[in-house]
Each structure stands twice: as structure tokens, then as C-alpha cells.
Amino acid sequence: MSFADLERGQGGFQSSSALVPHLLPTPTNRNYSELIKRGTDDLKTLSTLQRNLPQHKALLQKTSHDFQVSLVAFQRAQKVSAERQRTVVDGVKQAVEDNANSSGAVASSPQSQRQIQAFQSQISPAELAHQESLIQEREIEIREIETGIHELNEIFRDLGTLVTEQGTMLDTIEANVDSVALDTRDAAQQLEQASEYQRKAGRRAACLMLVVVIVICVVLVAVRIVILSLEFPWFSTRVLS
């Protein structure tokens, strides 16, 4: 390795390592994942609560659609963030490895040897250890982002199942409503028929009662005539005449 290569390596290391502190570990990825999980659970709870409320079908479908669109946008942002951080970390790792290899470089002249020693004095072992520690932290964060992406895929599957269940459930509710409406119409027809039958039966019963009353009246009149004939013989003679 020449001294010119070493100088180029120094510039690459400084420019790459300067990017690492800007990739600070933030809790946003974990917080976003928790919010997404909570939102998914709330959506499932909302679906459970609205099973008997088919009038909210449009609102529930719109909420599910908007939530899934937001998840897609967040998943894309996570992928871009993971790719960019991976690119920077790989560049810094390469720069650290190049500087570590430069410690074994052989100088072609006493002047080059002095320049190599001066360069190595600028990059202390503590600095290298610090950069390696930052790289490890960034790699951990990248793995967390990738884990969040996998979790989002699971959530998408859950939402797909949820939407399917909602569709089946709402179709079942609509079918039951139609069935109840049909049964109600049949029941109304049966009640109307029963009412008509009762009216006819009432008229027949009234006619029958009238006939019975007439017969009873006739019988009572006949009995009364017989009694009067027995008591008053002349009454029977007058009646017969």
C-alpha cells in the first residue's frame, strides 16, 4: 500500500465515520411498531363490536383501507431507511478495515514512515473502538427495522384475514336480515289468514248461536203451551181451534 493510498483511505475514513454519529439510535421504530400493533388490535376490537351493526359497514371498510394504506407507506419508509443505513454502515466498516490494514503497511522511505506514524497517531485505538461500537449499534437498529418490516407483513396477513372475516360476517348478517324479512312477511300473511279465519269462524259461531237461541225459544214456547194446556184444558181447545 502506498502513502497516497493511505491518504485516500484517511479521507474516506473521516468522511464515512463522520456519518455514523448522525445515525443516532432513536426509539421511533419501536414506538411505531407498538402503535401499529395497537391500531391493529383496536381495529379487530372495532370489528368485534360492530358485528351486530351492519349499518357501519362502509365506515369500517374505509377505516381498514386507510389503515392499510398508512401501513404500506410506513413499510416502504422502513425499507428505505434500512437500505440507507446499511449502505453507510458498510462504508464505515470498510474504512475501519482499511485503516486497520494500514497499520501493517511498509514505508518505502524514512519520510513515508514518519507520515504513516503521524497518521496513526491521529487515529487512536479509542477512536477506532468508538467507531466500531457505533457500527454495532447501527447494525442492531437495522435488524430492528428489518424485524419491524417482518412484523408488518404479519399484520398485513392479519388484516387480510380480518377483512375476509368482516366480508363473510356482513354477508351472513345481510342474509339473516333478508331471511328475517322474508319470515316476517310470511308471518304477516299467516296472521292475516288467521285473522280472516277467525272472522269467518266468528260469523259462523254467531249464526250457530242465533239458530240455537231460536230453537231454544221454540222449545220454550212449546213447553209453555203444553203446561198451559194441562193446567187449563180450555186453553188447549182454544189453541187447537
pLDDT at 46: 66
Q: What angle do CA 120, 124, 125 make, to 5 degrees?
A: 115
**Distance in Å from the first CA to the final CA of the chain:** 162
Higher pLDDT, 12 or 58: 58
C-alpha cell of 72?
Answer: 404500506
pLDDT at 10: 44
Q: Rounded distance, CA 239 to CA 166, Å?
A: 92
Do the beta carbons of residue 91 and residue 18 sit within 8 Å? no
Q: Which helix (H) or strand (E) holds 187?
A: helix 125-231
% of the chain residues with pLDDT over 70: 27
pLDDT band, residue 84 (cuts 50/70/90): confident
Mean pLDDT across the stretch 222-240? 61
Threshold 0.85, pTM exceeds: no
Higher pLDDT, 35 or 186: 35
pLDDT band, residue 112 (cuts 50/70/90): low
Q: Cell 486497520 appears where?
A: 100
C-alpha cell of 159?
Answer: 388484516
Q: Rounded distance, CA 113 to CA 3, Å?
A: 9
* 11, pLDDT greater than 50: no
pLDDT at 59: 73
In 170-219, which ranges are E strands?
none
* 76, pLDDT greater than 60: yes
Instruction: Determine the distance from the C-alpha atom of residue 88 to the mean position of all C-alpha atoms in its chain, rounded to a whole number.
Output: 37
